[in-house]
Structure 1
Amino acid sequence: MTTSGPQLISSRDNAWLKDLRRLAQDAGAWRKQRQVWLEGDHLCRAALARGVKPATGVFTESAWSLADASLASAAPRNVVLPAALFSGISGLESPASIGFVLALPDEPALAPMAPTVVLDRVQDAGNVGAILRCASAFGFTQVVALKGTAALWSPKVLRAGMGAHFGLSLIDAADPSVLDKLAVPILTTSSHQGGLLHQQQLPWPCAWAFGHEGQGVGDDVASRASAAVRIVQPGGEESLNVATAAAICLHASAAAAPARL
């Protein structure tokens, strides 16, 4: 619970506000500051619903005056900004009016038997965030992002994930050798080889690996895979967007897993 009223910051040259601006706009600032910026009512409430405890709440003046107790008392410290200053730190085209600063969660150890999603050099932040949402929705509890993948805790991936981060065990910037610790079969997708997805008996638990938007999974991942599968595409497109392919594959696993429905 907060022990005092909010701090009002009205100068854009305030040192703390400068750090917050970097955290919101610089894709790598979270590593240096060991903090994460969540912007918007939906993302903040999604974090609270998962038991996340923010370090600082940030509100526009009007949002603070309307904030309910769940938001106003979520953090031990609250900062109130004029709307123009909040807009100046926002990473959104249409700035929100509330945000949370969180301490960066400690990275967990890899769970060998967990249903897992492996991201191999998936570079688009929107794709990464969308895949995290699919992983959470379809019962995959662990995500391993290999080096070269868009950083899981970067602002754009956080926004695209829409709160999925807080229901997942996330391992970022991992070396492919970490996959040797998995005790579940690794499955990959391919546009030109392997059996058709809808004809396969899918193992559960398993790990699905999704690769670079143009190149697919690399040799380090492919050599560790138990099988490659294709998604039927009667319309004749050369390939699917990686997030779309992930949604199809993860749903197929969830539907086939025993006692999952």
Structure 2
Amino acid sequence: MSLPQAQIISSRDNPLLKELRRLAQDNTAYRKSGTAGRVWVEGDHLARAALLRGWRPALAVLAESAWLHWGGEFGDASHTGAERTVLLPDALFASISALESFSPAQGLGLVFDLPVEATVQSGLSTVVLDRVQDAGNVGSILRSAAAFGCAQVLALKGTAALWSPKVLRAGMGAHFGLRLVEGLAADDLAVLQVPLLVTSSHQGELLHRAHLPWPCAWVLGHEGQGVGEALMARAALKLRIAQPGGEESLNVAAAAAICLHASALSGPALS
């Protein structure tokens, strides 16, 4: 198959390869000099999710074996809008990939430039992450936020990096439909102008009995410590989930899904 649009790179020491390894394997590379503002999105599912939301990559990268599967789709700049397309030997792509079960035939990655503007917007349905540290939990919460009609997710300092490769994979494409802002302090939430709803495992009104406002901002806290005192003090509502089985608490991602679904039922999306 001819490769008229692809640049072939075969050296492990190529500067671009070094940059791609950092983006794919360093959770905070997108914040650091040399790779700042760029994220690596690996696999056809995430790539399609981004393209469907109107994101256009700066770079498309394919393994040689993957070109047979995806070259006509993701190797075509007229389809992806990529500024540049690169083809790598399978072994070189494998050295970049952070996937535990990498297959050369699935060797596809896109590099996106993050939006420059990252400020809190008032009046939007929102999820606030207060030091949620597990990447899988954060990605799962982003999926629930997108599924149940939230527009933005705000991460306070101490929360897992929202654009890290692990969170991106766990988010399954939700990132590209949400407004994401991170590195915030509690005081930065003052501009939201929507009620704060705080989750708790041991205090507050039962969720299924509560009248939930819309739009609102759900605050989800640290896996062990819960929501911090500063945000608890600002809450318009403190809510807990009925657990007739008697467990002490729920995983934060599971609690988020329950709360956000309940909120969506009270909002305009399902009315």
Provide the rounded CA distance (Å) in 2 between the counterparts of 1:138 and 1:176. Answer: 24
| 1:32-84 Cα shifts (integer Å, max 9, x gaps) | 11210000000001000000000000001122233254422211211111111
**Is the partner of 2:234 in helix, strand or coil?**
coil
Pick aligned residue for 2:171 from 122, 138, 161 = 161
Pick aligned residue for 2:129 from 102, 108, 119 = 119
Pick aligned residue for 2:207 from 179, 190, 197 = 197
Please, which runs of 5 or more residues in structure 1 have no aligned partner?
A: none
Instruction: Write the mapping of 1:1-261 to structure 2, written as runs, cut at 5 A.
Output: 5-32=5-32, 33=35, 34-67=37-70, 69-72=72-75, 73=77, 74=80, 75-95=82-102, 96-258=106-268, 260-261=270-271
Provide the rounded CA distance (Å) in 2 between the counterparts of 1:123 and 1:76. Answer: 34
User: Is residue 107–residue 171 contact of structure 1 (8 Å, CA) maintained in 2?
Assistant: no
**Is the partner of 1:139 in helix, strand or coil?**
coil
Provide the rounded CA distance (Å) in 1 between the counterparts of 2:73 and 2:264. Answer: 33
Give the CA RMSD over aligned residues. Answer: 1.4
Provide the rounded CA distance (Å) in 2 between the counterparts of 1:214 and 1:14. Answer: 43
Provide the rounded CA distance (Å) in 2 between the counterparts of 1:51 and 1:160. Answer: 21
Structure 1 stretches (4+) deviating beyond 3 angstroms? none
Q: What's the offset of the Cα at 1:221?
A: 1.2
**Is the partner of 1:117 in helix, strand or coil?**
strand
Provide the rounded CA distance (Å) in 1 between the counterparts of 2:12 and 2:119. Answer: 40
**Is the partner of 2:41 in helix, strand or coil?**
strand
Please, which runs of 5 or more residues in structure 2 have no aligned partner?
A: none
State how many pairs are aligned.
259
Q: What's the offset of the Cα at 1:112?
A: 1.1
State the TM-score, normalized to the length of structure 1: 0.96
Provide the rounded CA distance (Å) in 2 between the counterparts of 1:70 and 1:116. Answer: 35
Provide the rounded CA distance (Å) in 2 between the counterparts of 1:139 and 1:66. Answer: 34
**Is the partner of 2:218 in helix, strand or coil?**
strand
Q: What's the offset of the Cα at 1:154?
A: 1.1
Provide the rounded CA distance (Å) in 2 between the counterparts of 1:18 and 1:229. Answer: 47
User: Is residue 107–residue 170 contact of structure 1 (8 Å, CA) maintained in 2?
Assistant: no
| 1:7-28 Cα shifts (integer Å, max 9, x gaps) | 1111212111011101100111
Q: What's the offset of the Cα at 1:107?
A: 3.3
**Is the partner of 2:270 in helix, strand or coil?**
coil
State the TM-score, normalized to the length of structure 2: 0.92
Please identify, of 64-73 and 94-103, the stretch whose mean Cα deviation from structure 2 is larger.
64-73
